[in-house]
């Protein structure tokens, strides 16, 4: 059985979809959720799905190998970022080469990088007059949103779309494709 740990910071809709997708999977399970915010709703979602969770600090991530110890004890094979906004440190990248992926709510390389997340991305896409947007699923490296792209899916940006309406279209793509692509990348 391959074991996934999800890193998430917020509401956790993508994390929930991923947990649901693998709940009865014969070869893959989400066995741990990690969050840097003790009040993140994603922790409630994990509890409801009976997935253990760990809340950690900036120091836990950057100034110690505490998280690597937790991941090792839990026999985690693969890391998935789902609304996690901190840069992944080098020691985790070394411990999980080509086994950490992220989803971004735009067609990278456009509208990526530090500070480009959530509604900021959709507002930028609308303001730029883009005709399409979408999602990018990519490997994680030392830079924000610069890892090798694994998969992209597109949606139209219609005249009259707002950041909110575009976000809804992008969320639908995330929910549909992220669990499927995780499964493919993990080779199952």
Q: How confident is the model at residue 187 (pLDDT cuts 50, 70, 90)?
A: confident
What pLDDT is attached to residue 137?
98
What is the full DSSP assignment across 31-75? EEEEES-TT-THHHHHHHTT--EEE--HHHHHSSSHHHHHHHHTT
Same domain, residue pair 82 and 153 = no
Same domain, residue pair 130 and 186 = yes
What pLDDT is attached to residue 25?
97
What pLDDT is attached to residue 103?
97
Q: 97, 123, 152 — which closes off a domain?
A: 97
Same domain, residue pair 89 and 132 = no
Q: How many domains does the chain have?
A: 2
Same domain, residue pair 7 and 67 = yes
Confidence check: pLDDT of 188 > 90: no
Same domain, residue pair 92 and 108 = no
- Known active-site residue 104: yes
Q: How confident is the model at residue 154 (pLDDT cuts 50, 70, 90)?
A: very high
Same domain, residue pair 129 and 182 = yes
Cα distances (angstroms) measured from residue 54 to each of 83, 167, 187: 16, 28, 27
Same domain, residue pair 7 and 28 = yes
The catalytic residue among 25, 50, 104, 122 is 104
What pLDDT is attached to residue 35?
98
Same domain, residue pair 72 and 135 = no
Same domain, residue pair 79 and 140 = no
93-139 pLDDT, tens digit per residue, is: 999 999 999 999 999 999 999 999 999 999 999 999 999 999 999 99
Q: 97, 120, 154 — which closes off a domain?
A: 97
Q: What is the DSSP letter of 124?
A: H
Task: Quote the domain boundaries for residue 123.
Answer: 104-188
Assign 19 to helix, strand or coil: helix
Strand partners, 2: 28
Average pLDDT over residues 166-173: 98
Q: 79, 97, 115 — which closes off a domain?
A: 97
CA proximity to 96, closest of 77, 80, 81: 77
Strand partners, 136: 104, 152
39-65 pLDDT, tens digit per residue, is: 999 999 999 999 999 999 999 999 988
What pLDDT is attached to residue 52?
98
**How far is the C-alpha of 151 from the C-alpha of 135, rounded, in Å?**
8
Q: What percent of the chain has pLDDT over 70?
A: 99
Same domain, residue pair 69 and 153 = no
Same domain, residue pair 81 and 3 = yes
Q: Residue 30 sits in a domain of what CATH number?
A: 3.40.50.170
Q: Which secondary-structure segment (H or E) carries 2? A: strand 2-8
Strand partners, 133: 155
Placement of tokens 């007059």 in the chain: 129
Same domain, residue pair 80 and 135 = no
């Amino acid at each position: 059985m391959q074991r996934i740990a999800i890193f998430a910071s917020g509401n956790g809709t993508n994390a929930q979809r991923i947990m649901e997708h693998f709940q009865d999977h014969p070869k893959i399970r989400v066995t741990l959720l990690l969050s840097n915010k003790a009040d993140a709703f994603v922790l409630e979602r994990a509890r409801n799905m009976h997935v253990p969770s760990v809340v950690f600090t900036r120091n836990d991530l950057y100034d110690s190998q505490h998280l690597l110890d937790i991941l090792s004890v839990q026999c985690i094979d693969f890391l998935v970022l789902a609304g996690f906004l901190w840069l992944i440190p080098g020691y985790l990248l070394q411990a999980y080469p080509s086994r950490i992926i992220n989803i971004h709510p735009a067609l990278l390389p456009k509208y990526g990088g530090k500070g480009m997340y959530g509604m900021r991305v959709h507002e930028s896409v609308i303001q730029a007059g883009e005709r399409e947007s979408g999602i990018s699923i990519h490997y994680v490296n030392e830079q924000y949103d610069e890892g090798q792209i694994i998969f992209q899916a597109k949606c139209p940006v219609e005249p009259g779309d707002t950041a909110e309406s575009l976000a809804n279209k992008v969320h639908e793509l995330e929910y549909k494709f992220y669990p499927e692509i995780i499964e493919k990348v993990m080779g199952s």
